[in-house]
Structures are given as C-alpha cells and as structure tokens.
Structure 1
Amino acid sequence: MAQMTKEELFKQLASLRKANFAGGGRSPYKPLLVLWVLGQLKNTATNTFVYADVEQEISQLIDEFSPVSNNRYRAEMPFFHLERELWELSGNGEIGPKRSILRRNNATATLKSEIVSLLTSEPGLIEETARFLVETHFTESYVEPIFSAVGLDAGVIQFSSFAVSVDQKKRDPKFRSAVLIAWRKQCAMCGYDGELANSTVGIEAAHVKWFSQGGPDELENGMALCGLHHSLFDLGVLGISQTHRILVTDGFIGKSEASKRLVYDLHDTELREPAPNKPMPSLDFIGWHRTEVFRHDVAS
C-alpha cells in the first residue's frame, strides 16, 4: 500500500462532504469528529473507536462548536458518513446512519493505518493537521478552544504550512487595511482605538460571514473589532440584529465588573457607524452569522 502524503491527507480534509441541510447551513460535524480523533491519537495512541463508547463525548464537542440544535446526539451522522478514504467501519451486522443501529450492532470505526503512520511520522504533524482543519472549516478564534476541548496543544504549531486547499479561494491582502480605514480604526462595538508608534494595535478586521464558509473579503462583510470582541463575535457570544444592534447570548456567564462593562452592557446598543460613504454590514451576512454562529436559544 502506497504511503499517504501530507498534501493528499490535507486535500481530503479540506474537501470533507457536508451534511445537506435545508438552506445550506453550517454543519462542521465531520471536521469536529476528525479533530476529536486526532486528540485521541495524540493522547492515547488509539485509532479504533466503538460508537457506543464515544457517542456522548463526540456529541458534546459538536454541540459546543456547531450551530445550536435541540438534537442532543449528533455523532451518528459523521461517524457513519466520514469518508471511507479516512476510516473503516465494522460491526455485528448491518451498519447504518442511525444511532440505534450503531449502538445495537457494536459499530466500530478504525482510522486507516496509512493515515496513522503519516500522522505519527513526524513531531507536530497531528497538531498541524488539527490547525489546518480549524483554519479550513472555522476561523482563527476557534483554534485555542477546540484544541483545548480535544486535548491538543495549540502552541506546538502556530500555522499550517499547507496554506491553500482544494477549491479554496485566496484571501485579499487588502481586506484588513480597507476594513480598518472604513471603521476609523476603532472597534465597531466598544470604540477602542489604540495605536503604538503610529500603528494600530488590538484592532482586527473581522468577517461577519466567515471566509471559510464562503464569506467574501468585502466591506459589507467586514467590521473592525478589538481582539476581545472579535473573539466573542466569532464564538457566538455576540451577534448583530437586523437593525444593527448588538446581541449578547443568554448563555454567556461573567461575574466580574469587567464582564458587565465589556459584554453585558453592550446588549441592545447600536453598532458604531463607519466612516461616511462606507457600508454597514450586509443584512444577509448578519443573518447568516445570527443563524449559524450566534449562540441563540434553541427555541428562538
């Protein structure tokens, strides 16, 4: 059997097929499953998993980093449907994409041996693969929390060397500067506008609809945000209403005065306005973020 290369593996991971949800919603179930598997391989050297044993842990990971759902068990679909180029399924009879069947027939998945050999062939490759998955299917704000959740060290690899994946468009290098200028180099939520030696510090260009999900490098899809509010916006703590007012999820918990001032007090306040003749974020992109990222109550 030919040895798999890193490029071949990364191309497979970049093109993971997504669940076909109505409206084209975000469904990062397969990337999250693979990230969980990478953590297990790193920490326990395990590459074989019985569905009944791992269902709850994988479902919890999916719940934490996927759009809100009232389905408590979302491990069944990626466990069954993950590409057979990556892992193999076996069991005591019929294996299908239903939780009851997977549990009853002792469904077992094994990460393919050539992938295990590749991932363990050089130090840091597991972490680089995990970072590539996060960068390809999420945003940079998710690296630390996802790595922590699956038991990997985000400090091992600062970026993936495999920069451009299958069918992935290149970023516009002018996007950051254009967004910062459009928003007067200040946070659209709190107004922070720090500089050091004539350079902007602590202000970032945020995509409303993530670049990894087809969001364009355009002003209508961008906001200048400070580092804190960029992370909270990406992680779904903060959202934006159709009237450009800031939303704070009911699930956020902060006990300090700083949390009140920097987060809770933002709720229902208006976004600051960009410079004259510069657009506010598009309602289409805001709607995508509120549906696919913002941690709204499942009933809303």
Structure 2
Amino acid sequence: MKAILDEFLIQIDLINVNINGGKPALKKPLCLLLLISKFEHQLIKENKIRFTDIEKELGELIITFGGRPNKSGPKANQPFQYMNSSKFWKLILPSGVEMTHKRDLSIKILRDQETFVQLDGEIFEMLKTSKEFRAIAADFIVKKWWPETIQEEIISTLSLPIYMPFSFKPQRNKEFAEIVLSNFRYRCAICGFNATFNKHHFGLDGAHIKWFSQNGPDHIKNGLALCKIHHWAFDKGAMSISPDKFTIEVSPLFIGRDSKSIEIIESFNGREIFPFKEETPDEKYLKWHQDFIFLQQN
C-alpha cells in the first residue's frame, strides 16, 4: 500500500492549480482535504462521491482558506469538475452529457444524482482503511499550499488526522528568521512587541511576506518581524502593509467586537510600521500580499 500512497502524492504534486495573476486558486487542495476528512470520520461508504455531498462545506472552506472573496461566490463546482484532469479522479456524468475543460458544467448537471466522482480504486481503499496514510496525505497537501500560521487552523477546522513522524521534523529556516528579526531590531513591525524569555527573544517570527509555499524566497527583503498574533492576522489577510508608504492597512472585513480586539488590530490602521534597520521590504512582495492575500471588500 505504500507504493499506492507514493503514487497518490506524486499525482497530488502534479495537480494543475489555476493561477490568476500569480495567485493560485486553492480549491482543488481544499476539495481533497475535505474528502480526507470525510474518510477519517467514516462518512464515505462507497466510491461514488456526489457534488451535493460536499458542495456546502467545500464552498465554506473556499471562502475561508481559498483566497479573496469573489462576487460570483466560491464556485465549489470548479474543483469537482476540473480535478478530472488528475489520474485518480474520474467524473461520471449523466448519459448524453459530455465532459469539457473549457467551460463550467451547469450546477444542475453537477447536482444530478447520476453525476458522481469515482476515485482510483486502490486510492479509495487506501483512504478508507489507513488512518496513517490519510494523515500523511493531509500533511503533504497542507504543507504544500499553506504557510504554517494557516496549517493548524485548516487541520483543526476539518479535524484531519495528524501526521507525526518520529525521525524527522522540518525546522524553520533559523538564519532567515534571525536576519529578519535583526532588521527590525527584534520587535514586531506592526505593534512593536519586543520581549525575551529565559534569555531568548520571545513571541516573534521572521515572517515571509510572499508565502514560502508560493515560491517566496528566504530573503531579508521578503521578511517582516511579526509577533504571533500579527503574523497570523497578516497571513489570514486581515492586515497588510502598503508597498509605497509602509503604512498598515486593516481589512474592512475585520470587525472588532470588543475594545481589546479593536486595540490589537483595528487601531493600527493607517499607522506606519516600525522602522527597519538596513533592508527595505521589497515592494513586489508587499504588492503580492496586497493583491492576493489581503481581504478587501467585494
């Protein structure tokens, strides 16, 4: 079964993710994670996965983790249809309906009970029977397409099995983090948080502006020193930094419900970031974050 898993991971790695202006749509990976979650909770009994069984949940996942809001909605139909380009995914349509990769099939057709997806038989049995391999596949998907700050939230939201290898645990690039933190004098670029614990700096990350998973380099110009909460808010798109003025922007979709949340997030809107020591964050990375991560009004 290990060979089946290896082939499945290779096929996942080859998934054609639609890229619009440099920002990949993460709908297909979310669709796969949702299915792994359903296997984990024994909600998939037969190798016939219908769109109506995943439509609502997948749409919610796409809104939360798939990118900026879209006026036309999350379009959960797209990964269900276009994952058919992968070897492990076979979309069966009602008699007389032809498959196409040039246009979206109608929602009516996708909701038809004669429409369903069949996974490769061996992969279906593997996901159905092996918790270990479900965990490995979920771990691979989450780490390939999302930064660390978002990975844990996805795993928690879907109650995914957790892969915990005993022999190897990837480590953060300490050199990158140290250089970035030094450039901001070991304080959060947004709030100025600066603390030590047991003679080590505490609660600060050397954060990538352009995500490492999206080929953002381990370079000082692609880094910000951020405290834990502002790192999370930055990666979630609740906050950003203007490429030209280095001022903090808070998403209008963020709503503080008490004085503390307003103080921690909303109050920084329009303020300048804390000054860097030597290297200026590169405008192209900040623009990438503004264009593809920062959540603005529809």
Shorter-chain TM-score category? 0.7 to 0.9
> For residues 130 and 50 of structure 2, what CA distance do their matches in structure 1 show?
27
78-87 vs 182-191, which moves further: 78-87
User: 1:198 offset after TM fit, Å?
Assistant: 1.9
User: 1:174 offset after TM fit, Å?
Assistant: 1.7
- The equivalent residue for 1:289 is 289
> CA, structure 1 residues 235+259, in 2 after alignment: closer, same or farther (shift >3 Å)?
same
191-200 vs 170-179, which moves further: 170-179
- The equivalent residue for 2:134 is 126
User: 1:284 offset after TM fit, Å?
Assistant: 0.9
AA aligned opposite 1:273: P
> CA, structure 1 residues 115+162, in 2 after alignment: closer, same or farther (shift >3 Å)?
farther
Relative to the length of structure 2, the TM-score reads 0.87
68-77 vs 219-228, which moves further: 68-77
1:184-223 map, 5 Å: 184-223=185-224
Deviations 1:268-295 (A, max 9, x none): 11111111xx222211111111111111
Q: Does 1:181 find its partner at 2:182?
A: yes
User: 1:218 offset after TM fit, Å?
Assistant: 0.6
User: 1:38 offset after TM fit, Å?
Assistant: 0.9
248-257 vs 265-274, which moves further: 248-257
User: 1:130 offset after TM fit, Å?
Assistant: 1.6
AA aligned opposite 1:151: S
Structure 1 consecutive aligned stretches of length 4 or more whose deviation exceeds 4 Å: 158-164, 170-173
AA aligned opposite 1:28: L
Contact 2:40 2:131 in 1 (8 A): no
1:202-281 map, 5 Å: 202-242=203-243, 243-275=245-277, 278-281=278-281
Q: Does 1:13 find its partner at 2:12?
A: yes
Cα RMSD over matched residues? 2.5
AA aligned opposite 1:190: C
Secondary structure class of the residue paired with 1:223: strand
- The equivalent residue for 1:167 is none
Secondary structure class of the residue paired with 1:130: helix
Aligned residues: 287
Deviations 1:103-145 (A, max 9, x none): 3574211232212333345434323322221111111111232
User: 1:171 offset after TM fit, Å?
Assistant: 7.8
AA aligned opposite 1:99: S
Q: Does 1:64 find its partner at 2:64?
A: yes
> For residues 161 and 107 of structure 1, what CA distance do their matches in structure 2 show?
43
- The equivalent residue for 2:33 is 35
- The equivalent residue for 1:52 is 52
Contact 2:249 2:270 in 1 (8 A): yes
> For residues 163 and 7 of structure 1, what CA distance do their matches in structure 2 show?
19
> For residues 246 and 167 of structure 2, what CA distance do their matches in structure 1 show?
38
> For residues 152 and 131 of structure 1, what CA distance do their matches in structure 2 show?
9
User: 1:194 offset after TM fit, Å?
Assistant: 1.2
> CA, structure 1 residues 20+184, in 2 after alignment: closer, same or farther (shift >3 Å)?
closer
Deviations 1:170-203 (A, max 9, x none): 9855211111111111111111111122211110
97-106 vs 25-34, which moves further: 97-106
User: 1:150 offset after TM fit, Å?
Assistant: 2.4
Secondary structure class of the residue paired with 2:205: strand
AA aligned opposite 2:181: L
Contact 2:206 2:223 in 1 (8 A): yes
AA aligned opposite 2:37: G
Q: Which of 100, 111, 117 does residue 119 from structure 2 map onto?
A: 111
AA aligned opposite 1:249: S
- Unmatched segments (≥5 aa) in structure 1: 165-169
